Amino acid sequence: MGGQSENADRPQRGSRGNCTLTPEVAALLAHARAKLQAARVLLAARAPGDAASRAYYGAFHAVSAVLVARGQAYSSHAQVLGAFNRDFVHAGTFPREFTAILARLFEDRQTGDYDPTASLDLAEAERDVEDAQRIVDAVAEHLSR
């Protein structure tokens, strides 16, 4: 077979045996990283509301990736965040502070996208980008095991 093992096309399982790194999971992680890159560009352009929105989506796509890796799919943001908190944060896989971070990222995204009377300052958006990066990195590390 040209030097490839016969298992080359099969999804890879992490050492925990409960997460599968499929092309869909890899694509979600790549999407998460792209959203964070866009958030950094928007920070540099001094657009904190848009940067916060992209930061949230970076974290959201990472959280979605870890759920999809376990065969879980949901139709709403609330379901995705709830399942992640229940199945991964409360189980001790990820730090408890991720629950509060995700809630803040969601609220800041709502403000940035839908509330023209409110605004986020640059420091808040920078914090959102940093915290979203922590979540993306933690999920990527978890899935690589």
**Tens of pLDDT, residues 57-81:** 999 999 999 999 999 999 999 999 9
Q: How far is CA 96 from the centre of its chain?
A: 15
- DSSP character at residue 10: S
The answer to whether position 78 is within a domain reads yes
What residues in the chain have per-residue pLDDT under 70?
1-18
- DSSP character at residue 14: P
The answer to whether position 105 is within a domain reads yes
- What pLDDT does residue 26 have? 96
Whole-number Å distance between alpha carbons of 89 and 95: 6
User: Cβ distance 42 to 115 under 8 Å?
Assistant: no
CB neighbour list of residue 128: distance below 8 Å, 6 or more residues apart: 39, 51, 52, 55, 56, 104, 105, 108, 120
- What pLDDT does residue 20 have? 76
Q: What is the CATH number of the domain that holds 49?
A: 1.20.120.330
The domain tally of the chain equals 1
The answer to whether position 71 is within a domain reads yes
R_g over Cα of the chain: 16
- Residue tagged 């001094």 (tokens): 46
Q: Which domain holds residue 33?
A: 18-144
Lookup: tokens for 59: 């974290």
